[in-house]
Chain A
Amino acid sequence: MTIDDGVRRLPTQEITTHTDSREILANAARDTARYGLEEYFIVDVDSHHVELDSWPEILQYLDSPVLRDTANQMMKNWPNAARLALHNHSPGLTMQDVSGRIPHQAALGEETPGAPGGAGRDVTLVRRAMDAMSIDLQVVFPQPMLETGLHPQPQVATALLQAYNRWFTAEVLPREPRIKTMLGLPFEDPDACLATVEEFADHPGVIGFLVTSQRHAGVHRNAYMPLYRMLEERGLPIGFHAGPNQADSMTSTMNRFLSAHAMSFVTCNMTHMTNWVINGIPERFPGLKTIWIESGLAWVPFMMQRLDHEYYMRQSDAPLLTKPPSQYMREMFYTSQPMEWTDDALLESTLRAIDAPSTLMYSSDWPHWDFDVPGKIASIPFLDDHAKRNILGETARKVFGL
């Protein structure tokens, strides 16, 4: 006896780190068909490539011959530093993939014929993900470099960011116009931030600049005002991209990755948002577009209520403000992922609170373990088509001038 006609055994019975992205994401095509996503302009404002795959190449872009020699010697001599030299990433504590349950988070180890490594391979992987999810343009960020704000040697972090930014603009962006980026700012060094904007602002594909949020810098420090002025004058958005930290004063009490991840991806941006608003940065730079990235959304109405409540009683603590904190927050922008979806009524309130049709921008965060497909926006039952089109791409088109 044999199997019946029309029955096909899937060649990939189990998805692993070696499965092709297009196969991993094949089910996203169901959403494309169901919601007609091919007809939408979809911009993914937060996704990632794995810069450590190209780390030896990136380190050759280090400006300092001394630091470059340190990196090369480290890669050559230290068995565990071959793809990690000078980096503060802790590979022994990478638990995002839930013990192999979510393989694409750990590695996209698939074949990329014709582009076996480096930027060419990165571009191939990004294209596969975009096409599988019907995404037109994708803003691509690095991954472990999001931890750069916690680097114990800020001058090394600054040098690494500069090298990465030069590599990405020279090697990745020219290969695929559908790839965009907001380049990381060496935030510990305000002068280097200015130099970064000067060097890269006009590069094709650079559509803004990014602060990696896990850091201990007060974003209201006077030293940053020239940076905000420069970005405002150039019409370039500033983004704050959240990240994990299991070692700060509160998360260090936590014994589970879930706990530390749930908290730390939000508290870093809560901190910066608070300093940003209470110190009147939006009053000082009313034209500066500000984007809060990868903290989800549920924290925003919480902060709106919390800050408004205290502001009404302590107006003298926030003298630059001419309206409640929540109103400033409603004039900023938010990326959608990871959108808390577990309670429709709460989600509806959240989207109303932030004026989602005008401020929310879809993001996938692919290939991370909590990524969102565009169908997640398209399937929200209480949004009309206009709101969905804005969230999926039209607001990003305006914010970034795409």
Chain B
Amino acid sequence: MTTTTARSFDVGASDEVPERGRLVVTIDAGARTVTVGVFRFRGRLYAYENVCAHQGGPACQGRIVSRVRERLDAQQRSLGTVFDEDTMHIVCPWHGFEYDVTTGRHPGRPDYALRAVTVDEEDGRVRVSV
């Protein structure tokens, strides 16, 4: 039985991932070569493999946008749609699948999810483990 140990890679400086921004890198790690999107929301970093759960599109290279919600009044009448600024979605550019960056999950079908990748931040550097 072969065991593999995750290896940590320095992928860039912290300021290369601004708030509500991203850094997409390919890490050549032999059989584990992977393209990863690193995102920052409210100061914290999140990282996912750049493969959509739908048809495998480059989900990490799509639009970054807040979740759209519909407001209702007390009588359940629609007041129209608004951006929820307390959220950050990444959108796969192939077909529009949206993922909450804090969970990697589709808001309506949470079992459709991006594969999370371990990311850390230390001394102004971003490190991804694959």
A250 within 8 A of B: no
B29, B50, B57, B61 pick with most chain A CB within 10 angstroms: B61
Q: Does A1 contact B (CB under 8 A)?
A: yes
Check B101 for interface membership: any CB of A closer than 8 A. no
Indicate if the CB atoms of B55 and A7 lie closer than 8 Å.
Answer: no
Q: Which of B8-16, B40-48, B113-121 interfaces with chain A?
A: B8-16
A27 in contact with B10 (CB, 8 Å): no
Q: Which residues of A contact B51 (CB under 8 A)?
A: 27, 30
State whether A10 touches B63 (Cβ < 8 A). no
Residues of A within 8 A of B61 (CB): 10, 12-15
Q: Kindly identify, within residues 2 to 48 of chain B, every residue whose CB is under 8 Å from any CB belonging to chain A.
A: 9-13, 22-29, 35
Shortest distance between the CB of A99 and any CB in chain B (Å):
8
Chain B residues near A12: list those with CB within 8 A. Answer: 61
| Bound CA span A4–B128, Å | 11
| Interface pair A4/B9, CB less than 8 Å apart | yes
B58 close to A (CB within 8 Å): yes
A373 interface hit (Cβ, 8 Å): yes
Bound form: Cα–Cα A100–B57 in Å:
16
Q: Is the CB of B94 within 8 A of A7?
A: no
A1-45 contacts to B (CB < 8 Å): 1-4, 6-10, 12-15, 24, 26-28, 30-31
Bound Cα distance from A265 to B12, whole angstroms: 46
Are B62 and A14 within 8 A (Cβ)? yes
Query: Known contacts being A13-B23, A102-B96, A369-B96, is A6 close to B28, with CB within 8 Å?
Result: yes
Q: Are B63 and A101 in contact (CB under 8 A)?
A: yes
Chain A nearest CB, measured from B129 CB (Å): 12
The answer to whether B125 touches A1, judged by C-beta atoms less than 8 angstroms apart, is yes
Q: State the CA gap A370–B61 with chains docked (Å).
A: 18
Asked if A28 and B9 make an inter-chain contact with CB atoms under 8 angstroms apart, the answer reads no
Give B13's nearest chain A residue, CB to CB. Answer: A1
Q: Out of A7, A10, A104, which one reaches B93, CB within 8 Å?
A: A104
Return the CB mask of A359-395 against B: 1 if under 8 Å, else 0: 0000000000111110110000000000000000000
Q: Is the CB of A14 within 8 A of B63?
A: yes
Question: Quick check: B58 and A27 within 8 Å, CB to CB?
Answer: yes
A369 B95 Cβ-Cβ under 8 A: yes
Q: Which of A13, A31, A100, A373 contacts B24 (CB 8 A)?
A: A13
In the assembled complex, A239 has its CB within 8 A of some CB on chain B: no
A284, B62: Cα distance in complex, Å: 51
The answer, yes or no, to whether A208 is at the interface (CB within 8 Å) is no
**Partner pick for A9 among B24, B57, B58, B124, CB 8 A cutoff:** B24
**Additional A-B contacts beyond A27-B50, A27-B52, A27-B56 (13; CB < 8 A):** A1-B10, A3-B10, A7-B11, A7-B26, A13-B24, A14-B64, A15-B58, A101-B62, A102-B94, A369-B96, A372-B55, A373-B55, A375-B55
Sorted nearest first, the 3 A-B pairs with minimum C-beta distance are A6-B28, A15-B93, A101-B91
